[in-house]
Amino acid sequence: MKLAEMVPSAPEAAPLARLVVQAGVGWAVGGLPQTIGADRRGTDAPWDYLPLLSMKKRYENAGLRLAVIEARPPLDRAKRGLDGRDAEIDAVCTLLTNMGRLGIPVWCYEWMSDFNWLRTDTAVPSRGGSLVSGYDHALMQQAPPVEAGPISEDELWENLEYFLRRVVPVAEEAGVKLAMHPDDPPISPVRGVGRIMRSVDNFQRLLDLVPSPVNGITLCQGNFRLMTDDIPAAIRKFGEQGKIFFVHFRDVRGTVESFVETWHDDGPTDLYECLRTYREVGFDGPMRPDHVPTVEGDSNVNPGYSLYGRLFALGYIRGLMEGVQRDGRAAPVR
Q: What is the pLDDT of residues 15-25, one digit of tens each?
A: 899 999 999 99
Determine the pLDDT at residue 301.
92
C-beta separation of 20 from 303 below 8 A? no
Residue 270 confidence (pLDDT) above 90: yes
CA 213 to mean position of chain CA atoms: 19
In this structure, is residue 116 part of a structural domain?
yes
Q: Is 166 helix (H, G, I), strand (E, B) or coil?
A: helix
Task: Provide the CATH number for the domain around residue 284.
Answer: 3.20.20.150
Residue 58 lies in a domain: yes
Give the pLDDT mean for 324-332: 68
Give the per-residue pLDDT at 329: 55
Mean pLDDT for the chain overall: 94
* pLDDT of 328 above 80: no
Residue 11's CB: how many other CB atoms inside 10 A? Answer: 12
- Say whether 264 is catalytic: no
User: What percent of the chain is predicted at pLDDT more than 70?
Assistant: 98
DSSP string, 103-155: T--EEEE----S-----SEEEEE-GGG-EEEEEEHHHHTTSPPPTT--B-HHH
Asked about 305 being catalytic, the answer comes back as: yes
pLDDT digits (tens, 9 = 90+) for 103-138: 999 999 999 999 999 999 999 999 999 999 999 999
DSSP state of 13: G
Residue 215, domain extent: 2-35+45-328
Q: How many residues appear in the chain?
A: 334
Does residue 96 register a pLDDT over 60?
yes
108 classed as catalytic: no
For residue range 141-160, what is the model confidence (pLDDT) as tens digits? 989 999 999 999 999 999 99
pLDDT digits 0-9 by tens, 175-214: 999 999 999 999 999 999 999 999 999 999 999 999 999 9
Examine the residue annotation and report whether 137 is marked as an active-site residue of this protein.
no
> Residue 233 in contact with residue 191, Cβ under 8 Å?
no
Does residue 232 carry a pLDDT above 70?
Answer: yes
What CA–CA distance (Å, rounded) separates 203 from 186?
12
Strand-pairing partners, residue 248, are 220, 288
What is the mean predicted confidence (pLDDT) over 44-66?
Answer: 94
Write down the pLDDT at residue 38: 72
The answer to the question of residue 334 being in a domain is no
- Mind listing the pLDDT tens digit for each residue in 309-324? 999 999 999 999 999 9
What is the pLDDT averaged over residues 258-265? Answer: 97
Active-site annotation holder among 93, 220, 264, 278: 220
Residues 6+ apart with CB under 8 A from 191: 114, 115, 140, 143, 144, 145, 146
Burial of 96 from C-beta contacts in 10 A (0-12 / 13-18 / 19+): buried
- CB–CB of 32/48 below 8 Å? no
pTM score of the predicted model: 0.95
Residue at 271 is within a domain: yes
The single residue of 248, 274, 278, 298 carrying the catalytic annotation is 248
Q: Does the annotation count 290 as an active-site position?
A: yes
- Exposed (0-12), middle (13-18) or buried (19+): which is 273, by Cβ within 10 Å? middle
Q: Is residue 249 part of a domain?
A: yes
Q: Which of 108, 181, 184, 264 is an active site residue?
A: 181
Which has the higher per-residue pLDDT, 243 or 333?
243
Looking at the structure of the chain, the number of domains it has is: 1
Q: Is residue 333 part of a domain?
A: no
Q: What angle do CA 291, 225, 158 make, to 5 degrees?
A: 95
**pLDDT at res. 13:** 84
Checking if the pLDDT of 333 tops 80, the result is: no
Q: How confident is the model at residue 281 (pLDDT cuts 50, 70, 90)?
A: very high
79 within a domain of the structure (yes/no): yes
Please say if the pLDDT value at position 330 is more than 50: no
- The confidence score (pLDDT) of residue 334 equals 53
Q: Rg (Cα) of the chain, in Å, rounded?
A: 19
> What CA–CA distance (Å, rounded) separates 10 from 7?
9
40 lies in some domain: no
Alpha carbons 70 and 218: distance in angstroms, whole number: 10
Q: How far apart are CA 197 and CA 179, in angstroms?
A: 12
Active-site residue flag, 291: yes
Sheet holding 131-136, edge to edge: 121-125, 131-136, 258-261, 252-255
Cα(148)–Cα(129) distance, integer angstroms: 39
Please state the rounded mean pLDDT for residues 217-236: 97
pLDDT-derived band at 14, boundaries 50, 70, 90: confident
